[in-house]
């Protein structure tokens, strides 16, 4: 008998396997990332009416003007964060529906995530319970401020576009750590921010991307 976790038809494990095969073909090489995304039922993180599109390589609306990132973007950002290593502690800015959080929870021993929209945070908690990924520590707050009480972090990922790198996040990143985030307004790019052991910052511009903007405050 099929369960919601397994899915059927366009939400079946076979469809999820095809998604992972496409990610591999597009250059995602970290076996840990591919395995995590092969295991997680992405269709449980989207609206029922959009479940048949869950394994397409598209961003999908999740309400409140927010989106779940396309699978390739999730895989790409996660692979860049891992960088062939095994970082321990990560901060996610923008929990959203919890899908990226679930992927991170499979790969990092300590996951912290901030979401400014309380209703989305409640949904993310329910989604993470549904897929039995409950170790992440979720916080309602302003992502610009990070989470100083839990800092420092080995890695930071931001799932909304800022006009500049929030200074608080740079402060909360450990020397030797890495941050992946989209920057820009009209034109956005993915950026890799490496904090050197001496505290200096190295910035590398990567792929053109399209994310919702990072907003101040809470709601």
Positions marked catalytic: 69
Look up residue 152 and give its two tokens.
Answer: 């420092």
Q: How far is CA 96 from CA 44, 62, 154, 160, 194, in A?
A: 13, 8, 22, 10, 25
Look up residue 63 and give its two tokens.
Answer: 């309400």
| Rounded-to-integer distance, Cα 45 and Cα 190, Å | 24
* Per-residue buried b or exposed e for 14-25, using 16+ beta carbons within 10 Å of the residue's own CB: ebbeebbebbee
| Rounded-to-integer distance, Cα 178 and Cα 194, Å | 5
Q: Is 155 helix (H, G, I), strand (E, B) or coil?
A: strand
Phi-psi region of 176 (alpha: psi -120 to 50; beta: other; left: phi over 0): left
């Amino acid at each position: 008998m099929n369960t919601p976790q397994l899915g059927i038809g366009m939400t079946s494990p076979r469809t999820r396997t095809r998604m992972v095969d496409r990610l591999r073909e597009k250059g995602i090489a970290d076996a840990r990332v591919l395995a995590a995304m092969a295991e997680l039922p992405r269709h449980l993180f989207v609206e029922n009416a959009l479940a048949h599109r869950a394994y397409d390589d598209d961003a999908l609306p999740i309400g409140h003007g927010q989106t779940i990132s396309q699978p390739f973007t999730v895989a790409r950002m996660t692979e860049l964060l891992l960088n062939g290593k095994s970082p321990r502690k990560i901060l996610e800015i923008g929990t959203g529906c919890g899908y990226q959080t679930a992927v991170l929870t499979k790969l990092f021993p300590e996951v912290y995530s901030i979401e400014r929209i309380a209703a989305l945070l409640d949904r993310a908690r329910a989604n993470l319970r549904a897929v039995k990924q409950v170790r992440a520590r979720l916080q309602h707050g302003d992502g610009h401020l990070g989470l100083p009480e839990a800092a420092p972090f080995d890695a930071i990922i931001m799932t909304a576009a800022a006009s500049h790198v929030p200074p608080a996040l740079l402060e909360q990143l450990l020397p030797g750590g890495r941050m992946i985030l989209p920057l820009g307004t009209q034109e956005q790019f993915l950026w890799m921010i490496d904090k050197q052991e001496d505290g200096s910052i190295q910035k590398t511009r990567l792929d053109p991307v399209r994310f919702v903007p990072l907003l101040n405050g809470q709601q």
